[in-house]
Structure 1
Amino acid sequence: MQKPFIRTFLNNKGLAYIISTAFLIISMLLGISIGTVSIPVPAIIEIIGAEIFRFQGEGIDSMHESIVMDIRLPRVLLAGLVGASLAIAGAAFQGLLRNPLADPYTLGISSGASIGAVITLFFGISLPLVGAFTLPVLSILFAFATVLFVLFFARRVDRLLRLRRLY
């Protein structure tokens, strides 16, 4: 049973979206601000605003602009995209298998990808069309083959169990 506070919070989805968006923006600004060279948040906002709206800020330091636009902002955006991709992949696993505990480690998919990487490195395999991307391509292919194998095996076992119940 849920507590009354949780039910009240979950019913107000607009507030949840506002809080989540504010948390995302604050964490991105802190991720850009904190580093070897500390950059104040107002300067970050001014740098990004100047880049988006194409105006020259008067008090923008060129070193800070270079750090924000060339190093920190791309890293923070990439980290957000990777996190979102992992969340979508996890939700897809759980939805496909109808199991809230399904993840790549439990299903052996990570191990399948590792086998693909080890085979590529051990035998020195290089695919002609992908060249330098042979390792990730073969890892993805082995992970996909593992998914297919696990789904085939699970369906086969399920059929056998259903047949045994009939007899």
Structure 2
Amino acid sequence: MTTEVPPAAAPDEEDWLRLDGQVCFSLHAASRAFNGVYRVLLKELGLTYPQYLVMLVLWEHGEQPVKRLGERLRLDSGTLSPLLKRLEAAGLVHRERSAHDERSVEVRLTDEGTALRARALQVPRRIMAATGFTLEEIAALRATLNRLTTALDEAALETTPACP
């Protein structure tokens, strides 16, 4: 015996502006909660969350031009450059102008940055434990968020005025 779920009723006009009805706020609140857990875990590694993201890309893909790092992380160079400078000062990465293109700066891990990966392996496991979600639930949530990001990126392109 299956029970049909009735379709959700259209919200009243006043409900459209309720904070608890905003998907963006739910994402914002979840992001802040994630950041709080990450802050504690990453302190043990000497990293901030944005620095951790840079390290994830470098551990996965190896040496990268700054421009490509920014694309992967969805960060502009004004945000990324200070992060890289701090990672370099901590001895985790090395930045160097490309021999092939003087305009490009390459970022690579140092031995210390490579070694940090072994200690960082515990972070995703501890994050998953903090959520109480199963691997399947995490995968489904990630897939849903990726679909949402793609849809919003496409919507932003559609609403961006064309250059004359």
TM-score (norm 2): 0.23
Q: Higher RCO, 1 or 2 (CA under 8 Å, sep at least 6)?
A: 2
Q: Which has the larger radius of gyration?
A: 1
Name the structure where helix makes up a greater proportion of residues: 1
Name the structure where strand makes up a greater proportion of residues: 2
TM-score (norm 1): 0.23
